[in-house]
Chain A
Amino acid sequence: MRLFRISNLLSLVVATVFGVLLFWTSQAVQQKEQQLGALKKNLAQETETVRVLGVEWDYLNRPQRLEKMAAEHLGMELPSATEVVKNVNDIPEPPALVVPYNEALTQIVSTQAAPKTAQQKTIPMKAETISPSKADKQSFDKLIQSLDGGTDE
């Protein structure tokens, strides 16, 4: 009789433990599923954003736009075949073009008396520049809006 009761009690305890375990597991799974769903949604959103940014990047890097911007802001022009250098040693010593900000400041302050040498070192900007057409300056948002003609209704 006694033995019987102990085994009863034991099985009750075991059943309770398993029940709790099962409940806990199922809750954990549900939680993980929710997390997974949220992550997936997030991922989809991020993927779409990356896709949009990819298009924007390539839109802003159109060769014709880059070419005009390089001409306008950097005074660059198309290379000719005669400028292709075969030997690395043929490249002339580059003039000091990029000066760190702090150094540039101290230079301006210290060489105000004799600024001529500093001036000679920078590359002269090209006076004549091609100004980009309206289409070249068009931003990406404008492009997206213009897809539907941009009209209301």
Chain B
Amino acid sequence: MNNFNRAKIQVSGQKRSVLDMARSRLMLLSLFFILTYIVVAARIVDLTIIQGEMKKGEETVSMLEAEPVQKKTAHRADILDRNGIILARSLKTASLYADPELIPDKQIVAKDLVKIFPELTYGETLKKLQEPRRFVWIKRNMTPDDQYKILYLGHPGLSFMEEERRLYPQGPLAAHVVGFTNTDDHGLGGLEAGFDKLLMESDEPLMTTIDVRIQHALRRETASAIKKFNGLAGAGMVMNVNTGEILAAVSLPDFDPHKVNDKDKDALFNRLTLGVFEPGSTFKIFTTAAVIENAGAGMGATYDATKPLKVGRFTISDYHAEKRVLTLPEVFMHSSNIGSVKMAQQVGTDQFVNFLSDLGLLKAPDIEIPEVGAPLVPKPWKEINTMTAAFGHGIAVSPLQLVSASASIMNGGILVKPTLVLDKTLKKDKGNSVRVVSEKTAHRMRQLMRLVVTGGTGGKADVAGYNVGGKTGTAEKDSGGRYDQNKLRSSFMAFFPAENPKYAVYILVDEPKGNKESYGYATAGWVAAPAVKKVIESIVAIEGIKPQDSDELGGTLDAYVKTKEQIAKEKQLAALTAH
């Protein structure tokens, strides 16, 4: 025990040196430890005080406290309507596959699978599981709930392949606005393409100005007008004239964004923004506004529409020919081409072109989707172009341009910037607004539009209590360099309530054919106006708009419009004086 007792150690040279060596080794060892501790202490001082002080600016959070980097909930952000209804959302879907070699008891697995998926049959499932392969699909694209049930079974050999799928719960309803994506999850049309990068990067949903209820009403009525009059195609739009927000935008035929057929170009074509057409008489809104604004024409101004106009090899005549001298309101309400040409001449080519340019009709409009058509404008613009453009021919614009430009007049004269994205921070910036016509002209135009509905071609669009104002447009289609009387493009541009419009409603039907109900007519007043009326009735119910007791603008221009009796009397008088 006491081998190391000093008393017992014999003092001898050899033993002493052994002891000394042990002691010096011990000293060295303890020195080493002391040094190590000093280094550790110094390092602690360095880390906590010196470096800690210096890095005070940076956030120092412990690993536990640190929020893990928030994983994006989906590959691609949602697209919502203005009320938060989902228009597009990416969902994880799982597809179940099996490796038959790893499944020991195939009958039990098949039985369990059939229990979860009643649409699978036991025999077929078992056959699949008995195949001598290492990969068989059992079920594609299932809901997370079903996936959980499979996992709960715990059978070996069943595995999932997870993918993200873009879903459009509204189907084709707003297909042209929302657009679609390819298999690589990249936007190929509509807002999906316009905001492709943003949708990929952001987790915030994209809120559009579309209201699915109004969108549905518009689509339903446009489709039923096309069906009723056996038309080829159609388009429609509902816009808030004060903000430029597009509440509904329809182009028919449309497509199912889940199954896009590249070859069906007709369905993929957006007639509302990409298509440009000769607008026909709806363009008279601008001609008339120009003559009131720039040439100072009053409601009493008269235009001789007794004879068709001959310009070169063209003859400009009236569809609803009155064959007499017409006042300005009469020209608008009977949609006289001759009168409109004379108005445009009164304005003058330069001023007329400038006016159209101010309204944004001569360049491609600015909207958030890539499908934007540039208007076809004659170059150089000659006198004859002014004359044809006066009644909406020889110039082609998209319905979107037409709606925004007329909304710019009807809202009181402030240029409208159409938009599909709901920006809640957007405030009405008065300083930024561009005035295109004076408030007085705007008021006159409201009166005139109301007159078209109360006494003119747009009578079928009137909704009692809501004072609809509007303008019909029936354009003959160009077929092989000639205008074909039997191929029409009928449209109606409406605003309500007329005294202070909030909504613009536009419907266009391509090549409608007259039927018994319309006495063979396929003009705008018969085709588009009733459809617009139904859309307005739906909007009223959806938005809960109260009907009005008074019709401020109705009848205000009656003094300038001759009644049938007056016209007959004048004819008699003329006949008498001629004799």
| A153, chain B: closest CB distance, angstroms | 6
Q: Is A52 an interface residue (CB 8 A)?
A: yes
Q: Are B143 and A144 in contact (CB under 8 A)?
A: yes
Q: Is B487 an interface residue (CB 8 A)?
A: no
| B208-225 CB contacts (< 8 Å) to partner A | 212-213, 215-217, 220
Bound-state Cα–Cα, A64 to B219, Å:
10
For B466, the chain A residues whose CB sits under 8 A away are 81
Q: Are A48 and B144 in contact (CB under 8 A)?
A: yes
Q: Is A91 an interface residue (CB 8 A)?
A: no
Bound-state Cα–Cα, A100 to B140, Å:
45
The A-B contact count (CB < 8 A) is: 106
Q: Are A51 and B465 in contact (CB under 8 A)?
A: no
Q: Are A52 and B547 in contact (CB under 8 A)?
A: no
- Known contacts A51-B89, A55-B86, A63-B213; A147 and B173 CB within 8 A of each other: no
- Known contacts A51-B74, A51-B91, A55-B167; A81 and B144 CB within 8 A of each other: no
| B261, chain A: closest CB distance, angstroms | 12
Bound-state Cα–Cα, A55 to B171, Å:
12
Contact of B547 among A48, A51, A81, A146 (CB under 8 A): A81
Q: Contact size class for B? A: 35 or more
B251-292 vs A, Cβ < 8 Å mask (1 yes, 0 no): 000000011000000000000000000000000000000000
| A39, chain B: closest CB distance, angstroms | 13
Q: Are A55 and B144 in contact (CB under 8 A)?
A: no
Q: Are B73 and A51 in contact (CB under 8 A)?
A: yes
Q: Is B384 an interface residue (CB 8 A)?
A: no
Contact of B140 among A80, A82, A145 (CB under 8 A): A145
Q: Are B141 and A148 in contact (CB under 8 A)?
A: yes
Q: Is B52 an interface residue (CB 8 A)?
A: no
Q: Are B92 and A48 in contact (CB under 8 A)?
A: yes
Q: Is A58 an interface residue (CB 8 A)?
A: yes
Q: Is B464 an interface residue (CB 8 A)?
A: yes
| A86, chain B: closest CB distance, angstroms | 6
| A85, chain B: closest CB distance, angstroms | 9
For B216, the chain A residues whose CB sits under 8 A away are 62-64, 67
Q: Which of B91, B148, B217, B534 has the most CB of A within 10 A?
A: B91
Q: Is B316 an interface residue (CB 8 A)?
A: no
For B148, the chain A residues whose CB sits under 8 A away are 45
Bound-state Cα–Cα, A80 to B536, Å:
10
| A71, chain B: closest CB distance, angstroms | 12
- Known contacts A62-B170, A62-B171, A82-B464; A52 and B144 CB within 8 A of each other: yes
Q: Are B93 and A86 in contact (CB under 8 A)?
A: no
The stretch of B3-11, B373-381, B538-546, B550-558 in contact with A is B538-546
Q: Is B342 an interface residue (CB 8 A)?
A: no
Contact of A86 among B89, B167, B546 (CB under 8 A): B546
Contact of B173 among A49, A62, A86, A143 (CB under 8 A): A62
For A59, the chain B residues whose CB sits under 8 A away are 167, 169
Q: Are B137 and A146 in contact (CB under 8 A)?
A: no
- Known contacts A48-B92, A78-B537, A144-B93; A62 and B169 CB within 8 A of each other: yes
**Given A82-B464, A147-B165, 17 other A-B contacts at CB below 8 A?**
A33-B64, A47-B73, A49-B144, A49-B145, A51-B73, A51-B74, A52-B145, A58-B85, A63-B215, A67-B220, A80-B537, A81-B463, A81-B464, A143-B258, A145-B141, A146-B258, A151-B140
Interface residues in chain B, defined as those with a beta carbon under 8 Å from any beta carbon in chain A: 64, 73-74, 85-86, 89, 91-93, 95, 136-137, 140-145, 148, 165, 167, 169-171, 173, 212-213, 215-217, 220, 258-259, 463-466, 534, 536-538, 540-541, 546-547
**Nearest 3 interchain pairs by C-beta:** A63-B216, A59-B169, A58-B169
Task: Name 17 A/B residue pairs within 8 A (Cβ), A-sorted.
Answer: A48-B144, A49-B144, A51-B89, A52-B143, A55-B89, A59-B169, A61-B85, A62-B170, A64-B216, A64-B220, A78-B534, A78-B537, A84-B540, A84-B546, A141-B143, A145-B140, A152-B136
